[in-house]
A and B are shown apart, each in its own frame.
Chain A
Amino acid sequence: MIRWRLAMRLLRRNWQSGEQRILVAALVIAVAASTAIGFFTDRLGRGMANQSADFLGADLALVSPRPVDAAWLDKARTTGLQAIETLEFASVVVSGDELLLASVKAVQDGFPLRGSLRTAPAPFATDTATSTLPLHGEAWVVPRLLTGLGLQLGDTVEVGAQPLTITRVLTFEPGQARNPFGISPRLLMRMADVPATGVVQPGSRLSWQYLFAGREVDVEKFRAWLQPRLGPSHELIGVKEGRLAVGSALERAERYLGLAVLAAIVLAGVAVAMAARRYSERHFDMSAMLRCMGASQRDLLGLYLPQLLVVGLLASAVGCFLGWLAQYGLLYLLSGLLPATPSSPHAWPVLAGFATGMVTLAGFALPPVMRLKDVPPLRVLRRELLPLPNRAWLVYGAALCAIVAVMWRYTDSWPLTLSVLAGGIALTVLLGLLALLLLFLSRRLNTRVGVAWRFGLNNLWRRRRGSVSQILAFGLTLMAMAVVALVRTDLMTTWQRQLPAEAPNHFAINILPERQQEFRAFMETAGIATAQLYPMVRGRLIQINGTAVREAVTKEARSDNALNRELNLTWTTRLQQDNRILSGHWWQPEDTGKAKVSVESKLAERLGIELDDELGFAVGGQRFSATVASIRSVQWDSFRPNFYMVFPPQVIDSFPATYMTSFHLQKDDKSLLRELVARYPAVTVLEMDRVIEQVSRIFRQVTLAVEYVLMFTLLAGFAVLFAVLQASQDERLYEGALLRALGGSRRQLRAGHLAEFAALGGLAGLLAAMGTECLVWMLYSEVLHLEYSFQWRVWVFTPLAGALLVGAAGYRGTRAVVERSPMLLLRNQ
């Protein structure tokens, strides 16, 4: 039977006595963290989709070599989407005697559906977002096209039979091909002008691109409708596929946020468990008394569970509210990244927050509280009688269920959840044993240290069961804190390495071999550092192990871009710094002149190329072959020159080559480009600064978000710290009082306690260092895909931090032992 009034009165009294504060604080932290991140990832996800949509120019794009059935567009429109058509084709554009192969894009009103074009009134002048399109009879072109043909704004070019006046310089276009190298310069014109050009004939190579935009649900609906109707030549690009360099960074950030929240929740869970255990132990007498008065086991549950429920609901409500507030902090930090008018938050993070609160409570607090119903009534006569301890499987089982539930929500993957869990359990058991061993060893040390330390270490050993679980709790706490802090640092260095402040933001291609030296000198005098100059030979991959490449690869791979256009082949002896050799070996001096090649790993995987395969290439009319000597991973989002195929020197250098390089140019130095282009008309400059700027802004913002979330984890860690200390307080108080009554001096006691806690924290820190090393290794290789390296700092700082933190907190906590009169303490016992 549930007695609400009595239960609520007891709850109020308990609250007044401060007994449940840690429990509530821990729960609030768990719920706040999960709600804030829930709100936030919800918005971040939508914000990221928007970003990607801006890059794509649409929410969904369909690429086809032929016009598609008009019914498809109608279907899109009836589904509630905007739909427009664009056409891309390669065409020679003419101005007087000058010819240039251009990549023409014809667009209609409405383009782009997402994001915007950027144009400038003159080459290399400041650009602005532009919402209009070229008018009838006009064209917008990239600077390369102007310099290539020696034209000015206002001049006329002919595309086929149609003359077009160049009215603006195009600097950014959503939907730009993802690999900017080797594309011919862009010319943007109206779709309506296309028929007059006469270039669109049967058999010409065309690419129709259909852009769709609308509400997310409608897009998904249409996508589901369209997918089964697509043929092999169609390519559907959604915002996910369209993600650029920022994709991997944001994905990692998202995972990190998930990880940090998970850590916060588990930590808070441990704190809740500790606090609940203490709560339970402090209510043994009451339970026994109530049993004597005739309360049945169900009566007891009817008294305790409503209290727990109310505490849970209140704490969850407060947590949700705080989480909702905290989310605004995150939104503020990430303002540029998210939609300008944040769509109203969904309600589910609140529900999820409540669920997290209740699950955490059920998993961590219920088992110790359930124990209260098993208190034997005879305890009123024999104080030493305890309820049977919770069956271990119940305690750990409940906690595990809670962790699994929470983890699954954040990882959304059973294999990951279960493997992390299995690892976690194994680690905990191992660490528990280690803790015992450490205690034992430190006791050995005992004879060589001062009195205070001997007292402290002896205390730990005497209570070794409790000590081990405390070391474990502190250790896990410190570990979670260390892991989250460490991963944060590594994420940031990775991002910084990916985009250092001076990252190259311009590429110069088509540098003629004979002007290579001169070009380098030119840049040097201008005070601009250039990266290595890479030779580029344009060639095709035609054979794999003697079989024509189209037959050699799988059906899906047949339409791979790498097969349908010329690749940039290069040679070098120096491995690009973000490349890693996955198998085989990198060029040694003796490889020079040998017919070998190093292949990029993703391409190799798609085409089924393996080590020692024989690849056939065609450059111009000539053919040659090379053996695959290594497979290489490439970080494509590093904005450095990168290549699918890298040869050793003296293999392909007989072929005509041009050179490329990259360099960093400050905004104010942009005028140098004009000079450069004037002096080296053949050289093409690709400006990536706008994209890179955007990417680095995103990185900066995500970094802030990561630090913000780290705070939650640390808070949860501190909650555990206090919960654990408080849990062991009663016993210590009593002992301390006894010692004082027996004549121990304050100084002795203080020093002893300090030593005890410092040892506890230090041992926990040592344990945490081991755990951190294992966990980080696993996380990096399995979840975050980061480079793992041994972290010596962890081994120094974690034990140190543990000793300091636990030492200080414990010392403060047991001050009462020293300050209150021993009489008082003993009497209250």
Chain B
Amino acid sequence: MAAVYKSLSKATGQKDDAPKDGVRKNKQRVLILSSRGVTFRHRHLLNDLASMMPHCKKDAKFDSKSKLYQLCELADLYNCNNVFFFEARKGKDLYVWLSKVPNGPTVKMHLQNLHTMEELHFTGNCLKGSRPILSFDATFETQPHLRVIKELFLHTFGVPQGARKSKPFIDHVMAFTVADGKIWVRNYQISEVEKTGDKAGEDGGAEKDKPSGGKKSKPGLKDTDINLVEIGPRFVLTPIIIQEGSFGGPIIYENRQFVSPNQVRSELRRSKAGRHNARAEKQLERVVKKGDLGLRTGGVRKPADALDVKQVFA
């Protein structure tokens, strides 16, 4: 009987939960996984990010690189409405897919300048699963594709309120900045210090004490000041395409500035090979030229000129 009552009350509670706020509650779950062929650094980055996202479900490596639409079903299976997918190519290039599951959109980005938390040796640290403050650059609001990307970041990296395993305090900031056509991602710890002017006592934060630290403070906020200590990881993302669907559908944005790393590498190789090619070409040219001048044994003989020395003094 109690079970019946419980389920009934739960059902009714759920019913009037949604319209009470007027807006739907922000519920996000992220399926986070990589393709096969990631390097250890890619894997470590994935782990770092997963450790900061209590609302994520980490899954085993995904086998296929062409049938990415299967990820939708997988996400459905795990009851996730976001997918964060690392696709490694050639054991060195890393592409990141961010997708909303049933209906899209999907963003594909190229990840560069990757430094995992462990490599960076930063002194910052934060609670595992605390909700971050997401700091977006103002540039994100200027263009539609950036707005879409921002929304996806918000869904993926923002820990929803009341998420399971999330901690009640807020102690880190995640910063997304657009510079040079790329998105730079940083992660800082918020450390609160006594506002006594003596900041030297703060461990590790001493180096970060920049002039911007001292000015702005609310009188109501006890006498503490904020400074930030970087936690890591660091990486840079270059958007490539946005698809309308989830791992499918028409492409609604394409970045023309993006040059694929394969192209860069082949360009390098070609320029290196070019030196040899030029030399070989020149050699061949000389052979032909000599032949034309009749200086080679097998070459074409030039018809004797009437004014040639040999002809004149014959």
Partners in one complex: no
- B residues contacting A by CB (< 8 A) are none
Q: Which residues of A contact B (CB under 8 A)?
A: none
